[in-house]
Amino acid sequence: MIYKVVVSTVIAIAAVALLFTIMQTYFSGTMTSVSCKLHKNVIRHIPLSGFANQPLPDKCVSDPHEERQRISDMTNRVLAHFIVRCWEKAEEGMYGKKLECFELYAVNVGGIINESTVTAVIESEDKCSFIPNYWLDIENVSYPGSCGSDITENKIMWKMEDPIVDGTTLILKYNPLAHWVEVI
């Protein structure tokens, strides 16, 4: 009787593991987060030698966190770089949680920095296919260049109405509901 219970339990565990492996193969993006949560919350706590206190698998990285940066010379190119990095942290709009990417303190500002000039840098560096910005939010007009084809391709929401001057603090965050990077 006990033998049947043990064999049935082992078979059930093997079947679940096999099903999990098959699902991981076909739904790798979704299953990666599931397997990471399973590893963090269950597998690491199984008191079996070899399994306890194992490091997280390579695909399981901790959630991104806000980085504070002191920028001695803020330019359009520097700000564009950080916007692109925020979009990368947000997994190109697929990250499912609110994410505050960067808090940037601009010590010195070189030239005029606004949504139009930053978008021009993104366009000149051929990043518009990666992070399009069709609509200029403060000016309330479409970008005169070619950085997106319509209003749905607006992945940068500019919320700074005041000019960026020496001593300005900028916050770059990802909005998961709108799927864009906000410049505040």
CB distance 182 to 173 below 8 Å: yes
**Could you list the pLDDT tens digit for every one of the 184 residues in the chain?**
788 888 888 888 877 766 766 666 655 554 556 667 666 566 555 555 554 455 666 666 666 777 899 999 999 999 999 999 999 999 898 888 899 999 999 999 999 999 999 999 999 999 999 999 999 999 999 999 999 888 888 999 999 988 899 999 999 999 999 999 999 9
Bridge pairing between strands 135-136 and 141-142: antiparallel
Secondary structure of 94-120 in the HEC alphabet?
Answer: CCCCCEEEEEEEEEEECCCCCHHHHHH
- Residue 47 is predicted with a pLDDT of 57
